[in-house]
Structure 1
Amino acid sequence: MPQFSIGHRDYPTKKDARETIRAILHGYPVGSTVDNEEHHLLLLDLLDMHPRAEDKIGPGVEAFAIAPPQRGPHPGFRVIRTDGTPIDFSYLECLQPRTYRQQVLNVMGDEVKQTKTDYFESRRAAGTLRSDSSGQLLDTANTAVSYFQGPSFNEIATEFAESLGGWEAIELTSSAEKGLGRFVDRDLAQRWFDHHHSRAVFGLLTQQESLRRPRS
């Protein structure tokens, strides 16, 4: 059966995903903040799929709001960034086919995801499960491994791609459309892993602190 994904969420079709987003959009009054945490998390993953996601996210997402109609009768989504600046985005643009850069970024993240798990386990074993931002005591259900103390994941990935001459230099297996592919060249995959390991500076945050950081 055809499937469409937003973050870790799978939908039978793109139409089903679109209807889920529309239900959120029309479930809040114009001008209100999206205050349901699951809706907020879904919109964060949706925004990551926008072709100009980095520009829309800016310094980080504080909240989402419902913007009044700009063209036509329908409202839209507005990002309220952590510096207080607002910017609107089209959810329909987010649902367009992923660019090759977005596909590669998804695969890069999958190739190194174990490093974040290993970091968390090392902190738990050391008994240092506290937020590196606020000092708050953490539990396993309220902990996020973040790049907030160094370059973001996107910055590290872009450095690597540029060192090869661009994103097209990284060939992916055919399953990359859903972000579940792999590097075809496994030696290149190891080079990416080593580059990421040398540049990534992890830290721990609460889930809420992490939500308000730039996406990585």
Structure 2
Amino acid sequence: MPKFRIGSQEYPSKKAAQEAVRDVLYGYSVGSIVDKEKDHLLLLDLLDMHEEADEKIGVGVEAFAIAPPLTGPYPGFEVIRTDGSRIDFSYLACLKPPSYRQQVCAAMRVEAEANVTAYFTARAAANTLVSDESGRTLDITDTHVSYYRGPSFADLAAAFAADAGGWDAIELTTSSNPGRGQFADRQLAERWREYHREHAVLALLTSQENLRRPRR
């Protein structure tokens, strides 16, 4: 049976992923905020899978809430943006097959993982494991590498794709692990890694600080 991924979380099937999301939806009362970290992170990754993710996310995600039914008897999810505005989204729409742009973005994250790991390793070696937001000393088990002050990952990916001739110009390898494909052109992959090294402004935050940041 094919596996299914939401962000880094892997499920034995699409049905199992859908049930995990429904557990979050019905684990809170209508009108309440999704306040458990693991549930919030799941919904962030889920929302990234929406075909209109950029529009739904807007200026950034502050929180998620359980919205009353728009039509029919079932509640839904609502994004609370960092500017206070709200918009609903369908979790079923998020679980549709990813667009090619989404597949390329996922591959870009895979290709850039070495850069992110190298950044964390360098900070640890320099004994500078402190939050770049609060200055707090970080616990190595509660440390997130974040696109904190510079362009978001989505902005970096879009700019590189435009320079490469558009999303469709970036050919990917096939993968038995959905969302873990790579660039077929390895020279282009190195160009992307170099672009990421040059333009990504990374930082270290605690998990809670990272959660409060705008998504994107």
Q: TM-score, normalised by structure 1?
A: 0.95
Identify unmatched segments of 5+ residues in structure 2. none
The DSSP-based 3-state class of the residue aligned with 1:10 is strand
Task: State whether residues 130 and 204 of structure 2, in contact with CA within 8 Å, keep that contact through their aligned partners in structure 1.
Answer: yes
Whether contact under 8 Å (1:60, 1:212) holds in the other structure is: no
CA distance in 2, matches of 1:138, 1:109: 24
Name the residue aligned to 2:26.
26
1:175-209 superposed Cα distances (whole Å, 9 cap, x missing partner):
18711111111111111111111111111111111
- Unpaired runs of 5+ residues, structure 1, are none
2:158 maps to 1:158: yes
1:95 aligns with 2:95: yes
The one-character-per-residue Cα deviations of 1:54-78 (angstroms, maximum 9, x if unpaired) are: 2222222221110000011100001
Percent identity between the aligned chains?
Answer: 60
Q: How far apart in 2 are the matches of 1:176 and 1:193?
A: 23
Alignment of 1:106-185 (within 5 A): 106-175=106-175, 178-185=178-185
Cα distance in 1 between the residues matched to 2:59 and 2:126: 31
Root-mean-square deviation over aligned CA pairs = 1.4
1:119 Cα deviation (Å)? 0.8
Instruction: Give aligned pairs, total.
Output: 216
Distance in 1, matches of 2:84 and 2:215, equals 17
TM-score scaled by length of structure 2: 0.95
The one-letter amino acid paired with 1:120 is F
Contact 2:79 2:89 in 1 (8 A): yes
CA contact (8 A) 1:56 1:79 kept: yes
